Structure 1
Amino acid sequence: MGKLAITYQHIADILSFEVSNSQLEETLKNPAFNWDPLVVEGSKHLVLPAIYCRLKARKFLHLLPTDLKNYLEELTNINRNRNKALLSQVRAISKLLNEHHIEHVFLKGAALLASGCYHDNAERMVGDIDILVKKDQVYTAFNLLKSNGYDKSSGYAYDTIEFRHLDKLISENELASIEIHSHLLNRKYRSLIDLQAILNTKNTINGIAIPRTYDLSMHQILSWQLNDKGHYYKFPNFKIFYDIIKVNSDKDEALVSDLMRFKYGKSFLEIAKFYFKEFSHIQSNSYMIYISLSHKTLMNYKPLRVFVRKGKYALNFLLKRLHLLLTNTSYTRHIFKKVFNSKSFRSF
């Protein structure tokens, strides 16, 4: 395997619950083992606290260089305290929305923290607080939060058309910004998730509404594969892989079966299977074998990987901007103003 693939495999083996301690210890004790690329890639994938917590649970912290052990311990402590404050923030938001009878569920990291699925909440790094709100209550929820301390917002410099969420809401007194979602996927793929079903089947844990595990995992996977172009680039996301394993969705036959209906579901499962033993029970079809070979080839040849990724990024950027220019007059005005910086274009 190429160097990056080896680093990815080390991350997966540390996070996995099916790789034996003896096998992992043999790898980490090797004098040639290099921690530096693992830290770099673990940081990119936002799993450094999870790596530290798994090594601690496996009683392997003594294998870490002292400086690295201290760094990861400090980072994990910071994240634990942050998540404690974030959960307090989630509870306050939940109480406010419930008091005003706004139908909602928390999503992604906030929902996972609230579910109690982690042995140590420090494992999960969380950015924004994502909330799905019933479509006819989205602006009510937005204005309610805005009048209760989240009085600043951040969004695009142009008007968006049927975007997944409204502008981010920000409070100077809280850690995380809030994204109120009316949809979960980009317009082309919205039929893949039944929003009302998610709201109808939600679970409530300690007063916090979260989706059932199937919906939580399906949203995470499709959001990465489609919204964030994971399928397009055919690259792994170790934070999501670990989330899936922590809630045992890798063993959810209904979820796996539904993912197997779509090429982007198959590619997620195959790349997960490439690194994690937890997914080894999933039978690969011809398309998935192609995905595995393609991923392996890209991981083994860095120049090819860099060329393909940069080429795909450039193509995606150009097509996205062209689509916006043709379909969104607000974006077109924004571009003309930015390029020409002329008052004459304000009436365009």
Structure 2
Amino acid sequence: MGNLAKTYRIIADILATESNESSLAIEFSNPNFDWDNIVVKGSQQVVLPAICCRLKEKELLSYLPEQLQNYLEYITTINRNRNITLLRQIKSISQILNQNSIEHVFLKGAALLASGCYKDNAERMVGDIDILVKKNQVLEAFDLLKNNGYNKTSGFAYDNKDFRHLDRLISEKELAAIELHSELLENPNRDLIDLDSVFNSKKIVNNITIPNDYYINKHQIIAWQTNNYGYYFRSISFKLFYDSIVLNAFSDKELISDLFETKFGQGYLATAKFYFQAFSSVNCNSFMESYTESHNNYVEKKIFRKVLKPAKYAYLNIKKRLILIANNVSYRKHILNLRFIFKK
């Protein structure tokens, strides 16, 4: 097992909910145990606070070097305080939207924080506040929030009208930016999640409207595999794995059945089963076995990480740019303007 594969395996074992304290204690007792790799990859995977919380719950923090233990507890405390502030912001946004009869549901990290699904809200790191709004109200919601302090925007340098969310809304007085979504997925995968069903599934927790667990899970999984190209690169997200475990995705028979309907869902289940015992009851077919092997090649073999992955990224980027040039007049004008600026 290569260094990266071993690091991933240890991170998975730390995040796992089953009792494995004894085996982890043996690993950590090795004087040559590489904590640096855990910190680097845990940071890249946005799960350092979750790692800290899980080690604390498993009573394994004492095995860490004192300086590292202090560091993890420090950033976890910062994230806990940040999430307290974020929840206040989410409640404020919810109040504005509700008072103006804007039909919406909070998504992803915002929804998870609001749901109270974590034993310690410090476990989840959250960036932007994502909100799905009914298509016929999304522009109204955008203007409404702009008039309530979110008067700075950040987005594309060209018109991208078919994108899944509007420009980010930013307030100098608030911690997080807002992304108002009219869609959950990029084309051609939008029909994989029915928006009306997401709205119909909504529940209210502490006056905050969120989808039910099924749609929180399904959206995050399919979005990672498609919008974030997890399927294309055979890459994984431990943050997503952990969210799925916390929301008991592995025991949701309807969700598992629906995920089996697409290659994206099967790919996710294959890697989730590979890393986490919680998904052990999920059946595995030949496609999933091949998918896991492909993922392992990226993890184990440097030629896949150093050559094939960059080549696939370059191909994807060029393909996206060519499609934009062919179909987006605003993008063509943007490119011409850039050429004019550089010539100057």
Give TM-score, length-normalised by structure 1: 0.97
Q: Secondary structure at 1:187's aligned position in 2?
A: coil
Alpha-carbon displacement from aligned partner over 1:59-107 (angstroms, at most 9, x marks no partner): 1110010110111111001101100000000000001100011100000
Is the CA contact (8 Å cut-off) linking 1:117 and 1:246 kept in structure 2? yes
Q: Which structure 2 residues correspond to residues 280-295 of structure 1 after superposition, within 5 A? A: 280-295=280-295
Is the CA contact (8 Å cut-off) linking 2:250 and 2:282 kept in structure 1? no
Q: Secondary structure at 2:189's aligned position in 1?
A: helix
Comparing 301-310 with 187-196, greater Cα deviation is found at 301-310
Post-superposition offset of 1:294: 1.6
Counterpart amino acid of 1:194? D
Equivalent-residue separation in structure 1 for 2:187 and 2:79 (angstroms): 34
Post-superposition offset of 1:274: 1.5
Give 1:8's aligned residue.
8
Give 2:71's aligned residue.
71
Post-superposition offset of 1:19: 4.5
The list of structure 1 runs, each at least 4 consecutive aligned residues, that deviate by more than 4 angstroms after superposition, is none
Alpha-carbon displacement from aligned partner over 1:256-275 (angstroms, at most 9, x marks no partner): 11111111111111111111
Q: Which structure 2 residues correspond to residues 154-165 of structure 1 after superposition, within 5 A? A: 154-165=154-165
Equivalent-residue separation in structure 1 for 2:152 and 2:343 (angstroms): 28
Give 1:240's aligned residue.
240
Is the CA contact (8 Å cut-off) linking 1:49 and 1:125 kept in structure 2? yes
Is the CA contact (8 Å cut-off) linking 1:131 and 1:178 kept in structure 2? yes
Post-superposition offset of 1:303: 2.4
Give 2:328's aligned residue.
328
Give 2:85's aligned residue.
85
Is the CA contact (8 Å cut-off) linking 2:110 and 2:129 kept in structure 1? yes
Counterpart amino acid of 1:163? F
Verify: 1:277 aligned to 2:277, yes or no: yes
Equivalent-residue separation in structure 2 for 1:273 and 1:219 (angstroms): 19
Give 1:218's aligned residue.
218
Comparing 65-74 with 287-296, greater Cα deviation is found at 287-296
Counterpart amino acid of 1:240? L
Equivalent-residue separation in structure 1 for 2:18 and 2:137 (angstroms): 44
Equivalent-residue separation in structure 1 for 2:261 and 2:18 (angstroms): 27
Equivalent-residue separation in structure 2 for 1:166 and 1:140 (angstroms): 12
Counterpart amino acid of 2:134? K
Give TM-score, length-normalised by structure 2: 0.98
Equivalent-residue separation in structure 2 for 1:222 and 1:200 (angstroms): 19
Verify: 1:113 aligned to 2:113, yes or no: yes
Counterpart amino acid of 2:334? H
5+ residue gaps in structure 2? none
Q: In angstroms, what is the RMSD of aligned CA positions?
A: 1.3
Equivalent-residue separation in structure 1 for 2:221 and 2:57 (angstroms): 27
Is the CA contact (8 Å cut-off) linking 1:83 and 1:122 kept in structure 2? yes
Q: Secondary structure at 2:188's aligned position in 1?
A: helix
Counterpart amino acid of 2:147? S
Q: Which structure 2 residues correspond to residues 53-64 of structure 1 after superposition, within 5 A? A: 53-64=53-64
Verify: 1:125 aligned to 2:125, yes or no: yes
Identical-residue share of aligned pairs (%): 53
Number of equivalent positions: 344
Q: Which structure 2 residues correspond to residues 97-246 of structure 1 after superposition, within 5 A? A: 97-246=97-246
Comparing 110-119 with 269-278, greater Cα deviation is found at 269-278
Is the CA contact (8 Å cut-off) linking 1:161 and 1:328 kept in structure 2? no
5+ residue gaps in structure 1? none
Equivalent-residue separation in structure 2 for 1:138 and 1:324 (angstroms): 24
Verify: 1:44 aligned to 2:33, yes or no: no
Equivalent-residue separation in structure 2 for 1:276 and 1:207 (angstroms): 34
Alpha-carbon displacement from aligned partner over 1:101-137 (angstroms, at most 9, x marks no partner): 1100000000000000011100000000000001100
Equivalent-residue separation in structure 1 for 2:51 and 2:190 (angstroms): 34
Is the CA contact (8 Å cut-off) linking 2:130 and 2:181 kept in structure 1? yes
